[in-house]
A and B are shown apart, each in its own frame.
Chain A
Amino acid sequence: MAAATAGWQLVARYGIKNPEVLPSPSQIVSAGWQQRAALERNAWPTLRETELGFAFSFAVSWILATAMDFSSAARRAIYPLLVASQTVPIIAIAPLFVVMFGFGIAPKVLLVALATFFPLAASLAAGFANVDGDADRLLRSMGASRWRIFWTVRVPGALPFFFTGLRVAITYAIGGAIFAEYAGAESGLGIYLQQMQQVFRTDLVFATVAVIAICSIVLFVLTYLLERWLTPWRKHERAGREAAR
């Protein structure tokens, strides 16, 4: 990575020599630093959209996956819709959402939700379905109700699956918000990116991309921290597997 950065620096500085085509890493960093106030001002709305969209998709995916677990009719009805939601191209639907919901935050939140919804709901549904039938039998022999079984076995058992889905979804989340802003917004990293492209500030385009990447990485790392906190038993399972090897 260091070598690639150094190579890039040399090519940009002595090869291309045109920062509008390819700015050097040092130019990107200094341009980004100079415009840090603008970058920050535009990062907050994007993060806000990501957060709200993600919360929305989180809630809906839990509700639907739970319904799918309780009723096979619901499963047959909902699963095709899940898949359909994933096949909708975000780029195509973003302008449509802006037309329908305006330049405010609503279309962005919806697009983030749409982009992240499938991995969340599908991983949860898979996690619920993965539960050992014998665990169900054990709890039924104890006299447990369907809800009790759901909370006692299915939810904790599905968490490892859910976190896998969460990590996939989180990488789509900011991308969804950026696309939505591309289609029209008052502020946000997506619209800032577009503006800088139009005035040939390639260095600031790269700086914005870097900020987006850093935000995604931070969110990604957060999912690991959250997972470690919520599934403390997993590290013993991993240690057990390694000891068995």
Chain B
Amino acid sequence: MSGDEFLLETKGLTHQYARAGQEPLRVLDGLDLAVREGEIAAVIGPSGSGKSTLLNILAGLDRPSGGEVRVGGSGAVAYMPQKDLLFPWRTIEDNAILGLEVAGVKKKTAREQVAPLFEEFGLGGFEYAYPAQLSGGMRQRAALLRTVAMNRPVLLLDEPFGALDSLTRTQLQLWLAETWQRHGWTIVLVTHDIREAVFLADSVHVLSPRPARVTRRFEIDLPRPRNADTFASPEFARLERELLGALV
């Protein structure tokens, strides 16, 4: 396997936390993850399995105790936390350019860069609205827009639709599948929703309970573009069943 086949790769990732008077808490135990360019890779695992530790390491917020992380391109991922974290004092437009601003892009230039995305994200006409004026689904799309706008090679999404009601969540999953089709983003999607993983992902990586490692890797070869019909296909049901079997 050549090093360039994967855009994001972790090899033998280990992590542990020191605990007073006890053995260190081992959270990650030789975790290997490989994400191809332009694919959606779902990471799914039981709660408390070290997903947030993995996220922190991938997002560059923590250094692993051992092993290595390699991200191609600019070497950094665009991180979208679970909460939308839109700043209430910034308009949607100014929230969207946050990453660019931090990267040193001038406000005016950054605004011009993100402008074309609003229509596609269903936020046309809401550029100057404040987050408090948006619905939960729109806020989540705005947070994703802010993530995409950073122009980094990999998007790291932490349960992006986890806090939404079931109907809105399904709508956003359909929308993301459709929008991804046009852009071909490379996405690492951390989720605990089996349906979401099967519907959106090209590969699903199943984590073991703590200390976590990848126990199984599923290739989801459901045809693209995926849409509402995908949910009804027998292949979808089979994969969902198989994944459930691997998790419980």
A and B: interacting chains: yes
Q: Is the CB–CB distance between A135 and B87 below 8 Å?
A: yes
Structural contact, A233 and B88, CB atoms closer than 8 A? yes
Q: Across the interface, name the chain B residue whose C-beta is closest to A149.
A: B102
Partner of A139, one of B76, B102, B131, B132: B102
- Residue of B81, B83, B89, B132 contacting most chain A CB atoms (<10 Å): B89
In the assembly, what is the distance between CA of A165 and CA of B85, in Å?
26
Q: Are A153 and B61 also in contact (CB < 8 A) when A142-B98, A240-B133 are?
A: no
Query: Would A156 and B87 count as touching, CB distance under 8 A?
Result: yes
User: What band does the interface of chain B fall in when counting residues whose beta carbon is under 8 Å from A?
Assistant: 20 to 34
Contact B132 A239 (CB under 8 A): yes
Residues on the B chain within 8 Å of A141, using CB: 59-61, 77, 79
Q: Please report the C-alpha to C-alpha distance between residue A239 and residue B131 in the assembled complex, in whole angstroms.
A: 12
Q: Is B218 an interface residue (CB 8 A)?
A: no
Q: Is the CB of A137 within 8 A of B87?
A: no
B153 at the interface (CB under 8 A from A): no
Report whether A144 and B88 are in contact in the complex, using a CB–CB cutoff of 8 Å: no
Instruction: Decide yes or no whether B99 CB sits under 8 A from chain A.
Output: yes
Interface centre among A141, A159, A233 (most CB of B within 10 A): A141
**Binary flags per residue of A208-241, CB closer than 8 Å to B gives 1, else 0:** 0000000000000000000000010100110110
Q: Which residues of B contact A159 (CB under 8 A)?
A: 89
- Encoded as 1 (CB less than 8 Å from any B CB) or 0, chain A from 121 to 140 comes to 00000000000101101111
Indicate if A143 sits at the interface (CB-CB under 8 A): yes
Assess whether B76 is in contact with A143, with CB atoms less than 8 Å apart.
yes
B133 touches A138 (CB 8 A): no
Q: Is A148 an interface residue (CB 8 A)?
A: yes
B167 contacts A by Cβ under 8 Å: no
Q: How far is the CA of A239 from the CA of B179 in the complex (A)?
A: 32
Residue of A whose beta carbon sits closest to that of B82: A134
Instruction: A153 to B131: give the CA distance in the assembly, Å.
Output: 15
A237 touches B88 (CB 8 A): yes
A157 to B88, CA, bound (A): 9
Q: Which residues of A contact B133 (CB under 8 A)?
A: 236, 239-240
Give the interface SS of chain A, mostly helix, strand, loop or mixed: helix
CB contact under 8 A between A134 and B102, given known A141-B59, A233-B89 = no
Q: Is B130 an interface residue (CB 8 A)?
A: yes
**Are B88 and A143 in contact, CB atoms less than 8 angstroms apart?**
no
Residue A231 contacts which of B85, B89, B98, B99 (CB distance < 8 angstroms)? Answer: B89
Cα A152 to Cα B132 in complex, Å, equals 18
> Is B103's CB within 8 Å of the partner chain A?
yes
Contacts of B54 in A (CB 8 A): none
For B88, list chain A residues within 8 Å (CB).
233, 237
The distance from the CB of A140 to the nearest CB of chain B, in whole angstroms, is 6
Instruction: Return B180 CB to nearest CB of chain A, in Å.
Output: 21
CA distance A215 to B43 in the complex (A): 62
CB <8 Å contact, B61 and A233: no
Q: How far is the CA of A231 from the CA of B88 in the complex (A)?
A: 10
- Which of A134, A148, A157, A236 has the most CB atoms of chain B within a 10 A radius of its CB? A236
How many Å lie between the Cα of A236 and that of B87 in the bound state? 13
Give the docked Cα–Cα distance between A152 and B89 (Å).
Answer: 10
Assuming the contacts A137-B81, A141-B59, A156-B87, asked whether A236 and B102 have C-beta atoms less than 8 A apart, the reply is no
In contact, B85 and A135 (Cβ under 8 angstroms) = yes
Interface centre among B61, B83, B87, B103 (most CB of A within 10 A): B87
Give A153 Cβ to nearest chain B Cβ, in Å.
7
Interface string of B187-204 (1 = CB under 8 A from A): 000000000000000000
A137, B61: Cα distance in complex, Å: 7
List residues of chain B with CB within 8 A of the CB of A135.
85, 87
* B206 in the interface (beta carbon within 8 A): no
Show 21 residue pairs from A and B whose CB-CB distance is below 8 angstroms, ordered by the A residue.
A132-B83, A132-B85, A134-B81, A135-B87, A137-B56, A137-B59, A138-B79, A139-B98, A141-B59, A142-B98, A142-B99, A142-B103, A144-B102, A152-B98, A153-B87, A156-B90, A159-B89, A233-B89, A237-B88, A237-B130, A237-B132
Beyond the given pairs A139-B98, A156-B89, 4 more chain A to chain B contacts, judged by CB atoms under 8 angstroms and listed by A's residue number, are A137-B59, A142-B150, A153-B87, A156-B87
Name A residues whose Cβ lies closer than 8 Å to a Cβ of B.
132, 134-135, 137-144, 148, 152-153, 156-157, 159, 231, 233, 236-237, 239-240
Question: When A and B form their complex, which 6 residue pairs have the shortest distance between CB atoms, in order from nearest?
Answer: A141-B79, A156-B89, A236-B132, A240-B132, A142-B102, A141-B59
